[in-house]
Every structure is written in C-alpha cells, then in structure tokens.
Structure 1
Amino acid sequence: MPVIIKNRENGLGQILVGMETLANALKITFGPRGRHVMIEKSGDPVKFTRIGAEVADGFRLSGTFQNLGVSLLRGVAESTYRNAGDGSVMSTVMAMKLFKECIRLVQSGHSIVDLGKGLLNGAEKVNESLTAFSKPVKTINQMESLLVTSSGGDSWIVEPILSLHKKLGDKGSVTFGYTDGIENKIIFRKGLSFDETYLSPYFDDPNSESSELDDPFILVCADKITDMEEVLSLTEKISETDRPLLVIAEDINDDALSLFLLNKKSGVLNTICVKAPGFGDKRVDLLEDIAAFTGSKVFGRSLGSPFEKIGPDKLGGAQKVRVERSRTIIMDGKGTKSRLKKRLGELRKRLSEETDDYEKQTMKTRIAKLMAGVATIKIGGYTETEKSLKRSQISHAYSTLLSGMEGGYVPGGGLALMMAASALEKSRPGNNYEPAYKALATSLCAPLVLLAENSNANGDYIKEKVTDGSFKSGFNALTGKLESVASWPVIDPLKTVLVAVDTAVSFAVNLLSSEVFIAEKPYVLAEDEAPLLGLKGHKGMRGIAGMEHDHK
C-alpha cells in the first residue's frame, strides 16, 4: 500500500486540526452542566451521550492526517475509560493543553528530550501529591457523592446502584439490559465471573457488546487443547443434545480452534472458547472454583483426566453464560450446594493458615466471588434512545463507584488537580525539568477552567479565586458557586484522576518526540474500475472519507 510521509513542519498542523475537532466535541460534555452529543451510525439507532469515550468511538474526518490526529486523541479517551471507567474527557483536555504548552516551549528553543523527561518526572510527583490527598470511601454519603458527581447530578441512579452494591459488595458482577416497559428492574442470581475472554475474536459478535449462551455445557480444561480428533468426538456427542458449549481452556491449537469456529458458523454447535484464568498451578486452583460452581470436573492430562474420557455427562452447566470483551460471567451454575459449600470450606481453611498478605487478599477475593453472585440491571424508558442514554449513565456511574471503592477518592471538580499543580510548581527541580513542570501544572488546571466555562462562568476567574483562597473552596458546577471544601460534596475516584494524568502525559511525550508522520495513501478508483463495480459515471468514491476524486 502506498504511503504519505510528512515531517513535523508539514504534518503536525493537520494532526492538530484533527485533535482540536474531536476535543471540541468532547469538551461540551464535561461536568454536570455539559450537554449531550447526538451520534448517528449507519444501521444503528440515534444515540445521545455525554460519555467522552462513546463520543470518540467512531469519530472520523475526511483528511488523512487530520484523521490521524483524531485517532491519537481517541486513544487517550478510550485508554482512560478502559482503565478507570471514567475520566475520558478530563484526560483529553489535559493532553491537548499539555501538548500545546510543550509545542510553545519547543518553538522557543527548549529541548524535546528534556521536556519529555521532565514531564515523566513531574507526573510521578503529581501522582504522589494526589495519593497524599486521597481518603478511603467508607460511608454511604461518600458513595452517593461519587455517584452523583460521575453522573453529572442525576440522582436517580443512586438508589439502584447502592441497593445492588449492598447485596453484592464490590466482588459481585453486574450486567445491564433493557426492560420492555418504563420501569427499571434489578434481578439477582447466583453467578461467578473471571477476567478472561475469547480465545479468538471470531467468537465475538461485532454487532453486540457481549455474546450469550443459554443452558450451555461447560468444559473446564487445565491444558492446551491440541487433538482435533478428540475435539471432533466431543462436539459430535454434544451436537446431538441441541445445547451450546462453553470451553474454558489454557489455549487451543489452530486446527482444533478452527473446528470449533466452523461448527459455530455452520450452526452445528454454538460454541464459545474462552481463556482460563490464572497461570501455572494457580490456574488449576482457580478452575477448581469454576468446576465447583458449574458441576464440572477439571480435565487435563497433567491431572490424570485426559480429554478422550470426556462425555456430556462429565461436563458442567449453567443457566446462562455471558462473555464480554473483558470478562466471562457464568450465571446460575449447576454445581450442587454441597460441593460449593465444601469448596468454600477448603478456601476458608487455607485462608486461616495463610501467612502471606497478598495470598490472603487473593483468597478473600475468591471466596467473595463464589458467594457474591450476579445482578442484572434492566433499564426502562419511553423510547429506545432514552433507554440507551440511561444505560450508559448507570454503567458509567457503577464503574466510578468501583474505582472509588478500590483506591479512595480526592476532591473533585478539578480541585485535587489544582492542588497537585500548586505543589508541583513549588517543588523547584532546579534543572532542565522546570519548563516541563510549568507546562504540566498549567495543563492540570484545564479541567477546572472548562468545568466553569461549561457552567457559564469565567474559567480563568474561577481558577484565580480557587488559588487565591489557598484551595479552601472549590467550584461546584451544579450550584455555580464556590463552596467550602469542609463540606465539599464533589469527589472523584483517585484511580480515575491518576489514570487521566498518566495517559495525558504519555500522549504528550510520545507525540512530542515524533518527527515524521506516515499514513496510508487513500486508494482512488481508476476510471476503468468504476464500471466493474457498477458505479456508472462515478467519480472516485464520493462521500467516503479520503476516497473522493474527480477524474478528468
């Protein structure tokens, strides 16, 4: 494929245009006074959202290098959302401000290498400051504040999320769906989840965020599946039952995997293969948890249970299995109560004898997962658009709550970032890092300024008042007022803020150090190719980004 090559002077300007275009679409969603973005994609219903990662997903421009800029900034939003569950707009705002400050410094003669090192060093100090400001989430009021802040003041989400958290704790799994009516419903059931997913992307449904199997057989295997003949024998037996199959295995070789995929595509046997959790001996131990829950046996030659001895009567089962792109959830496993009780007893006994703190925590987590279960929140509404919007809001808020429970919270509304910026400016590195420190400190103030501007306030004025008041008050965008931190109801998960800062700095450092930009050259149909495709009189591929061309 031919490529287009541009140097910094010729390419960076177009890349910045693309980044600015996406950033402007993201900025308007920020904070409780932010507005929605309406998204239309071919074949999908119109969607309204204020979640930055959803806005960035699928955002495209026609210009090749402008679109390269969009892709770069989209990566910032998606990475932050994937790793923290929130903070996508916060990170993109800081990333853009930081990169612009660094470009200004480079143009005034500062070293790119020194700036990069200074930013990475400064980010470490910012993380230390933010961690020092943090407090653990302990009370219901703190949980409510996290939820209301993350949802932009939509208090309707508080009651359903707190009720399911009370039932499940922070180790249970939550899925989201829709009702046929206008009321929301929460369904609790026995369940077990683990953080592994498809062994091949071809098992995934590209038109859905997850794949489900109803009443499947479950094969739990500690080894790599390598023998195609054994796979064929098993699938023939199961296909006669008209039930689907979930395979949990360390790995599957190409031939055996192809057979599973062929059976799925042809409709012979609906199968999903997922990777087994854990490594080495720990994998077998974790698989024993799954086996106890599903009523299966852990197979493997290393365990003295070879694959050829497997029949449907030896497999486990569940009422439903849901495989998402980051986890697998088994609902209503068919293991007996006595076996599950025995397994929990074994784990509790090992916990009482364990001396290593890390192993103790791991064991507690496993016990909690076996006991917690799964909840499904079904969202109601008057229209499909309303249901989609409410589902995005509640799943987003739940992720925020889990992040807060995991790592604690810091003052929200950009206040913690302002405090960290002030501490960074006072640190005085006394070397070539000082310009980078100042650039980073400036970017940390950008979220507060934007929050105020989206609330029809003067961002620079609010920033000045917060700084002059020694950070004893913060800007509450819901009320539009400066309020005392002593009773500050606006809080953010520490994890979200740390991930946002690190992602923004990583973006700026990598782009700053790039001197040459290479992109694929768009393919343009030749004049004699158009008739072959039934495009009579077609000049290029009009309406398709980067493919327009007027043949003379």
Structure 2
Amino acid sequence: MANEVISGEQLQKVIRDAADLVVSSAGVTLGPEGRPVIMSKSYGGPEVTKDGYKVINNLKPEDEKIAKIVELLNQATSQANEKAGDGTTTATILVGNMIKNAHKHIAAQRSRMKLKSGMKRARDEVVKYIQSVAKKINSEEEIAQVGSISANGNSEIGNKIAEAMNKVGKEGVITVEEGKGLDEFSVSVVQGMVFDRGYVSPYFITNPEKMIVEFDNPYVLLANKKLSSIQPMVPLLETIVRSNRAVVIIAEDVEGEALTSLVLSKMRGSLNACAVKAPGFGDRRSEMLEDIRILTGAKTLVSDDLGVTVESLTVEDLGTAKSIIISKDSTTIVDGGGEKAAIDARVKQIKTQIDKTTSDYDKEKLQERLAKLAGGVAVLKVGGATEVEVKERKDRVEDALHATRAAVEEGIVPGGGATLLSAIAVLEKLSSDDDDEQAGINIVKSALKAPISQIVENAGEDASVITYNLLESKDPNRIFDARELKYVDAF
C-alpha cells in the first residue's frame, strides 16, 4: 500500500471498519461478565487477558489501511490509560460509537465544524456532571471495596491493594510483580525513601551474612560534589566519633584519600561510616539531594554553588534518620529526621512541577521523586499455576490498582456505565439553534448509552430494556449489577 492516498467515502469506510474492529475486539472484555481474549504473541505462548487496553494494543489488522486507523484510534483512547490507568475499553466504545454516528451525519452533508462544536459542548457538560457527582473515598474499607469492584468482584485483590495503600500512603509507590508461589499473593513494603545507589566499597559492610550496611540513628552528610580529601572532614568526623554515632556520606562521589581513610577507620573500628554515591545525574542529582536533605532534616549540604564547604559543617548541620540500610545497589532511609511541614511543602512543590511539565520523561522522574518523599514502596507479588495464569492475574491486579488510584485521587461514581447514562439528562437541557451543532450534541448523547449496553449484552441481557428502566427511574445512584443481574443502589 506504499504511497497510496485515500479520501472521501473510501476513507470514511476505512475509519468505520477500524472503529468497529477495535470496539468489537475490546468490548467483549467489559464488565463483570466480560470474556477473556486469547492473544497470539510473536514470541512465547499465547496470552489470556481481560484487559481491553492490551487487546487494543495487540490488534494487527491485515489490511494496512485499517491498521493505520487502528493505530490512530489507539493513540486517542490510550490517553484514558495514561491519565487514569484504566477506562480504555469504555473510552474506545464511546469513541467508536461517536465515529459511527458522526459519519452518518457527514454523509448527510452536515457541517463537520458544527458537528465538532456540538460534540465539544456536550463533552464539557458531561465532564462537569461527572465531577459534580463524584464521591470522595478515604477509609481503608472504601478503598478495598473499590479495588474489589475494579477486580471484577475479587475481594482478595481489593483487600491487598487497600493494605498496600494503607502502609505506603496514597501517594506511595505500589508495583505489581510476578510471584513464584502457586497461590502467592503477598504485600511486601519498604518503608521510607529508597534510591538506587549502594555502598561505594564492600569494606563498609556491617552485616556480612546479608552483605549490607545497617546503622541505627546515624548522621547523614550530603555533598553535591566529589569528596577526595579527608583532611577537611577530620574535625567533623572526630565530633561524630565522640558521639558514638555512625555517619552516612551521600555525595557525587567519594574517592582517593577520603575513601581510603574512611575504609581504614571502619576496619579499625574507630568510626562507623559508609560512603554512598548520590542518585541521579546533573540537575536531577541536585534535586534528589535536596529531597534527601529535607527528608533527613539536614540544615545544608556541601556545594560549591552554595558556597558551603565540609570544613564549615558541624553535627548540627547534618541530617539524621532512625535507621539506614545500604546494600550493593540500594539505600533505604527509614524515618528521616526532617520536619513534616518541610516534607509536605516539598511534596507540594514537586506536584506543581508535575502539573507544569510537558515532558513525559521529566514527569516520570518527578513522580518517582514524589513517591519517594510521600510514602514508601509496596510490592504486590502475584503467583499462579502457569505463566499464562500469572500474567492474566497480574493484569487484573494492575487494572484494579490503577482504577483504585484514580478513585482515591478523584472520587468514585455509580459504575456499570450508569453515570454516563444518567448524564444524558444533562444533555437534554443543552440545545442549539443550529441543526448541525444540535446533531453534534445528539451524537454524544447517543454514545453515552454504549458502554452500559455493552456491559449488559456481555451479561446476556437485553440492553434496551435495562437502559430504559434506568433512565425512567431518574435515580443517578441506581445501577444494574451485571453479575447478579439485578438493580441495586450504588452506594
């Protein structure tokens, strides 16, 4: 199909076919009675998933024209996954329905610009409505309930997600990994800040069995430069020795005479010390050192830019922590001595930077820093009998985790497509004197029925009857439970 250009009705047909393919492929996974999809892989065995996002991203249409449009549709709907971590299938169904109806109006010679204008007006009203009915969740029990619903009624998944969030905080990092046990499903938590730099020399090790350095109540000396001479540090180190406390030196690097002297002092038993390279590079290293300074309560750090030298430091300028554990490639700071107000202010500052940055890479790094400061790191390990089962379970846990995170951040609404359906009442009050713009409003209005219709059809019920009954009830909290096949109150 190289250099082939299509337009007009031919292009419209390709777009419709691509939208139908995406909706039909991902739509079957939606809701509690959605069906798993088996995907063949270019390597390894087949993969079973109920993750609509994975299904969409693995579509490989033979028709190259359709494949190009599918790729464009994927880019559009994947924004739902990037922003909320979930909801891609619902977004796909909405987009597919709007494309189908929009093309009917375009074929009837309606103005594309007026249709777009009407659709945007309708979209804005629906978004405002959803935000107005969202209910904030706070308790561990509520988080567990949301996680369970997001995992298709699996209460174990919901409880584990709630446990992890309770331990590391709502802003903390939670990752999902493949476990090794047959029925393994565990939560392990690393409290405090963790960064991916370990001891500069194994001679600093205090626990040979675990090959780690463990210090209780150590001082923390920070330097945004290389430290190569020991002489400037001697007065400070002598004071630390007299206090019978250890010191962790986190610097751009510790080398030469400084490193040799610290190692010899450790081996002789005259000083408990450990040198660690600072995380990151360039400006990012400076920012992370500042994060650590605030976390540990250090008054300052050694820096040529700040004009602060090692000679000028006293123990009052150093940071502290309840404990620090250092391995070959990571450092864990537990219960730093920084003030909560200062840490909260730093967290707020990083959040502002996340909102303002346009770089995905910078956003990712800022989010990592935010997670390190705001909480700890929890690891959910998921096992299974086969590799396929492990991956499928891992996908379900990840989906539930993403949905729960979004719920904690922005609140929850009645599910099962009911909130989108009830938003139709808002659009009934929205009108336009221009017929083409009104048609655009109606396109969105019609699309709002599509997700709940798909959920109900996947449960083997008549979608037209269910949607009619819900609309007639005029109760925004009334939903159709597609698992139990009955009407219930969402809250």
Fold in common (TM above 0.5): yes
- Structure-2 change in CA distance of 1:122 and 1:94 (3 Å): same
> 2:101 maps to what in 1?
101
Residues 222/475 of structure 1: CA separation in 2 closer, same or farther (3 Å cut): farther
Partner of residue 171, structure 1: 171
Counterpart among 428, 440, 446 of residue 436 in structure 1: 440
SS state of the match for residue 185, structure 1?
A: strand
> What is the CA-CA distance between 1:244 and the residue it aligns to?
12
Tell me the CA shift for residue 236 of structure 1: 11
Mapped pair 1:402 → 2:400: no
Q: Structure 1's 357 and 318: CA in aligned 2 closer, same or farther, altered over 3 A?
A: closer
Task: Answer yes or no: is 1:249 the counterpart of 2:281.
Answer: yes
Q: Distance in 1 between matches of 2:347 and 2:37?
A: 46
Sort the Cα spacing of 1:221 and 1:111 in 2 relative to 1 into closer, same or farther, 3 A: farther
Of 291, 295, 298, the match for 1:289: 291
Q: Match of 1:333?
A: 331
| Alpha-carbon distance change, 14 to 144 in structure 1, aligned in 2, over 3 angstroms | same
What CA deviation, in whole Å up to 9, does each residue of 1:364-402 have, x standing for no partner? Answer: x98985362111111121111111111111121111111
Name the count of aligned residue pairs.
Answer: 397
Q: Does 1:126 align with 2:130?
A: no
1:412 aligns with 2:415: yes
Aligned to 1:248, what secondary structure does the other structure show?
Answer: coil
Residue 221 of structure 1 deviates from its aligned partner by: 10
Unaligned runs of 5+ in 1: 195-212, 224-232, 238-242, 252-275, 277-282, 307-315, 322-331, 490-552
Whole-Å Cα distance in 1 between the matches of residues 47 and 200 of structure 2? 37
Question: Structure 1 residues 65 and 172, CA, compared in 2 at 3 Å: closer, same or farther?
Answer: same
Q: Give, in whole Å, the separation in 2 of the partners of 1:57 and 1:349.
A: 43
Other structure's SS at 2:5 match: strand
Kept in 2: contact 1:80–1:91 (CA 8 A): yes
One-letter code of the match for 2:331? G
Alpha carbons of structure 1 residues 360 and 66: separation in structure 2 relative to 1, 3 Å:
closer
Give me the whole-angstrom Cα distance separating, in 1, the residues matched to 2:254 and 2:40: 41
Q: Measure, in 2, the Cα distance between the counterparts of 1:293 and 1:333.
A: 14
- How has the CA–CA distance of structure 1 residues 305 and 14 changed in structure 2, closer, same or farther, with 3 Å as cutoff? farther
| Separation of aligned partners in 1, 2:63 and 2:350 | 54
Specify the code of the residue in structure 2 equivalent to 1:441: K
Do structure 1's residue 449 and structure 2's residue 449 form an aligned pair? no
The residue type equivalent to 1:22 in the other structure is V
1:482 to 2:487 alignment = yes
Q: Measure, in 1, the Cα distance between the counterparts of 2:111 and 2:352.
A: 46
- Write out per-residue CA displacement over residues 67-125 of structure 1, whole angstroms, 9 at most, x where no aligned residue: 01221222234221121111010000000001111111112221001111221122111
Q: TM-score, normalised by structure 1?
A: 0.63
2:142 matches 1:142: yes
Return the offset for 1:440.
Answer: 0.4
How far the C-alpha of 1:186 sits from its partner, in A, is 1.8
Does residue 1:470 correspond to 2:470, yes or no? no
| RMSD between aligned residues | 4.0
The 5 Å alignment of 1:51-450 reads 51-182=51-182, 183-192=184-193, 215=198, 248-250=280-282, 276=284, 284=286, 287-290=289-292, 302-303=305-306, 319=327, 333-334=331-332, 340-341=336-337, 344-345=338-339, 348=341, 369-370=372-373, 372-432=375-435, 433-450=437-454
Deviations 1:189-236 (Å, cap 9, x if unpaired)?
A: 135479xxxxxxxxxxxxxxxxxx684769x9989xxxxxxxxx9899
Distance (whole Å) between structure 1 residues aligned to residue 469 and residue 343 of structure 2: 56
What letter matches 1:410 in structure 2? V
Contact 1:52 / 1:77 at 8 angstroms: preserved in 2?
no
User: Could you say which residue in structure 2 is the equivalent of 1:24?
Assistant: 24
Deviates more, 1:369-378 or 1:434-443: 369-378
Offset of 1:147 from its aligned partner? 1.4
Q: Which whole-Å CA distance do the structure 2 matches of 1:20 and 1:101 have between them?
A: 12
Q: CA deviation at 1:17?
A: 1.9
Q: Say if 1:357 and 1:401 are closer, same or farther in 2 by CA, change over 3 A.
A: closer
Residues 170-194 of structure 1: CA distance to partner in whole angstroms, max 9, x if unpaired? 0211122223212222211135479
- Contact 2:133–2:413 (8 Å) recurs in 1: yes
Q: Name the amino acid aligned to 1:289.
A: D
Identity rate of aligned residues, in percent? 23
- Contact 2:253-2:278 at 8 Å conserved across structures: no
**Pair 108,244 (structure 1): closer, same or farther in 2 beyond 3 Å:** farther
- Tell me, in whole angstroms, the C-alpha distance in 1 between the residues paired with 2:38 and 2:343: 53
1:114-144 alpha-carbon deviations (Å, 9 max, x no partner): 1112211221111111111111113444323
User: Do the aligned residues in 1 keep the contact of 2:15 with 2:66 (CA within 8 Å)?
Assistant: yes
Q: Match of 2:479, SS?
A: strand
Partner of 1:5: helix, strand, or coil?
coil
Contact 2:19 2:99 in 1 (8 A): no
CA distance in 1, matches of 2:288, 2:383: 37
In the other structure, the counterpart of 1:7 is 7
Indicate how the Cα distance of structure 1 residues 177 and 423 shifts in structure 2: closer, same or farther if over 3 A, else same.
Answer: same
State the distance in 1 between where 2:296 and 2:140 align. 35
Alignment of 1:496-511 (within 5 A): none
- CA gap of 1:303–1:467, structure 2 versus 1, over 3 A, is same
**Letter paired with 2:165:** H
SS in 2 for 1:187: strand
Alignment check: 8 A CA contact 1:413 1:451 kept: yes
- Indicate conservation of the 8 Å contact 1:19/1:72, yes or no: no
Residue pair 1:180, 1:380 contacting (<8 A) in 2 also:
yes
TM-score by length of 2: 0.70
Q: Which amino acid aligns with 2:474?
A: S
Residues 1:36 and 2:36 aligned together: yes
Aligned mates of 2:224, 2:53 — CA distance in 1: 36
Q: Which residue of 2 aligns with 1:310?
A: none
1:426 Cα shift?
Answer: 2.0
* Residues 148 and 159, structure 2, Cα contact 8 Å, conserved in 1: no
> d(CA) in 2 for partners of 1:250 and 1:83?
29
Rg larger in 1 or in 2?
A: 2
1:300 and 1:118 map into 2 onto residues whose CA distance is: 57
Paired amino acid for 1:184: F
Q: 1:299 to 1:115 in 2, by over 3 A?
A: farther
Indicate how the Cα distance of structure 1 residues 305 and 15 shifts in structure 2: closer, same or farther if over 3 A, else same: farther
Distance 1:4 1:317 in 2: 61
Which residue number corresponds to residue 217 of structure 2? none
The one-letter amino acid paired with 1:443 is: A
